[in-house]
């Protein structure tokens, strides 16, 4: 087991536990506790604190998921993770440095990279149709 795998597992389980606790606290507050504020005011306050803590944990685990997925896209390099996620993504298609053929300089699609801007865009830019 790698550290990256363990970290991703902990992040996912923490997010699941926070979500289940948040939903459970909302259900108890709305469906179980009576509406009279004098009887259960302290309990509602504790449930709200638990809900706020769960929202903070959910926000943290969401950010952690984003970083771990970006790190996976970058091939394990954390320093290149976020730029790889923002600049090398293609919706609906896997795009990584492993999909390029090192020997021929071509992508897995078989199209050659734009060498002279023949598509009208600058070579290598996101608008370059030769890389799609």
pTM above 0.75, yes or no: no
* pLDDT at site 127: 60
For residue 56, being part of any structural domain is answered with yes
For residue 100, being part of any structural domain is answered with no
d(CA 77, CA 81): 6
* pLDDT at site 90: 60
What is the domain extent for residue 18? 3-87
Domain count for the chain: 1
Higher pLDDT, 55 or 100: 55
For residue 129, being part of any structural domain is answered with no
For residue 55, being part of any structural domain is answered with yes
Four-point Cα dihedral 65, 68, 70, 72, nearest 10: -130
């Amino acid at each position: 087991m790698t550290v990256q795998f363990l970290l991703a597992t902990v992040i996912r389980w923490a997010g699941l536990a926070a979500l289940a606790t948040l939903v459970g606290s909302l259900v108890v507050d709305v469906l179980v506790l009576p509406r009279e504020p004098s009887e259960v005011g302290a309990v509602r306050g504790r449930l709200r604190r638990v809900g706020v803590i769960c929202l903070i944990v959910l926000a943290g685990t969401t950010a952690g998921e984003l970083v771990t997925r970006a790190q996976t896209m970058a091939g394990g390099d954390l320093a290149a993770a976020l730029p790889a996620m923002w600049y090398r993504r293609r919706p609906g298609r896997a795009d990584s440095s492993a999909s390029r053929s090192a020997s021929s300089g071509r992508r897995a699609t078989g199209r050659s990279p734009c060498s002279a801007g023949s598509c009208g865009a600058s070579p290598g830019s996101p608008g370059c149709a030769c890389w799609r």
